[in-house]
Structure 1
Amino acid sequence: MPPIPTLVTPRLNLRAMRFEDWPAYRQLMASERARFMGGPFSDTLAWGMFCSDHAQWDLLGCGALMIDDQTTGACIGQVGINAGPLFPEWELGWFVYPEFEGRGYALEAAKALLHWAKEVRRLPSLVSYVDPENQRSANLATRLGAVLDRTAARPAPGDLVYRHYSAMPA
């Protein structure tokens, strides 16, 4: 499996998860904002998700990267590629902590990880599973060049599936 990458964009550092990331992650997963991901989640379920986000790197060659602001060093969210038995296809996902929304961070981080998926990991395609009420994520998927795929398999029956054709190898 490839090592966990560190990706750098003009404003961000995308890096491996650390235990110090757990408190903010836990808080988000326990909040009403987690409803778009099937939550809110108990600490037990959130911890399992946190560990899975990291463990996928060793098991599947993908996983989550935390997003740090280069100027302040603050961890502002997460971007990741999920796979395994809970996901019908390779899935690009993201979240930004509430106080950092609306600044283009998720778009910048997701673009960097899409590029890595195509150029380094050589994944055949990616999808993003989006709750139909999560208009911000649907808009972001579209801004990333993804198109709605109404025929794709999905982990939850109501999810919208956005296909990232741009992640397909040339």
Structure 2
Amino acid sequence: MTVPTLKTARLELRPMRFADWPGYAALMGSGRAGYMGGPFGVPAAWGMFCADHAQWEFCGSGALMIEDRATGASLGQVAVNRGPLFPEPELGWMVWPEAEGRGIAHEAAVALRDWARDVARLDSLVSYVDPANARSCALALRLGAWRDDRAARPDPDDLVFRHFG
């Protein structure tokens, strides 16, 4: 499977590189990862980092790093997660603290959501969000998703936002 590279006005969504690990590990080891079941130590974060990459080979989708086209700086990650940990394909996002509040997650999520629908031809896409994560709940709604309280979820406390399907 060839991992795609997607471009938006400000961003390049590109395949993961080992050089992305320090930023990923820092976020996953911080309190901000609490919305995803963390914070996580190095072994767990490394496993997730590798799984994000491996999903492309195993599932035909996975994670892309968010890069600023003007500076080349890594800003976070966006993913279409599939596999045994996800009841259905999930659109997920996370941005490094310095990228928050700039519309980066929205711009990246729109691009990957549209790729999932138009190129990967997925029939359905959801986002699993911790109910305490008000910013991600707002982003899911801004993306045009709606609450689907009947959908299966990996964590029974998560909210499910359906993007299409």
Give the alignment's TM-score, normalised by structure 1.
Answer: 0.96
Counterparts of 2:117 and 2:91 in 1: how far apart (Å)?
12
Identity %: 65
Counterparts of 1:158 and 1:6 in 2: how far apart (Å)?
33
1:38-65 deviation digits (Å, cap 9, x = unpaired) = 0000100000000000000000000000
Residue equivalent to 2:82: 83
Counterparts of 1:117 and 1:87 in 2: how far apart (Å)?
16
Number of matched pairs: 165
Residue equivalent to 2:17: 18
**Which amino acid in 1 is paired with 2:93?**
W
Residue equivalent to 1:147: 146
> For 1:97-136, what aligned pairs fall within 5 Å after superposition?
97-136=96-135
1:132-154 deviation digits (Å, cap 9, x = unpaired) = 00000000000000000000000
Counterparts of 1:119 and 1:100 in 2: how far apart (Å)?
27
**Which amino acid in 1 is paired with 2:123?**
P
**Which amino acid in 2 is paired with 1:140?**
L
Counterparts of 1:92 and 1:66 in 2: how far apart (Å)?
14
Counterparts of 1:118 and 1:27 in 2: how far apart (Å)?
31
Residue equivalent to 1:45: 44
**Which amino acid in 2 is paired with 1:74?**
A
Residue equivalent to 2:7: 8
1:78-129 deviation digits (Å, cap 9, x = unpaired) = 0000011110000000001001100000000000001111111000010000
Residue equivalent to 2:34: 35
- Structure 2 spans left out of the alignment, 5+ residues: none
Let me know the Cα RMSD of the aligned residues: 0.6
Residue equivalent to 2:56: 57
**Which amino acid in 1 is paired with 2:96?**
Y
**Which amino acid in 1 is paired with 2:128?**
Y
**Which amino acid in 2 is paired with 1:27?**
A
Counterparts of 2:127 and 2:16 in 1: how far apart (Å)?
21
**Which amino acid in 1 is paired with 2:44?**
L
Secondary structure at 1:79 match in 2: strand
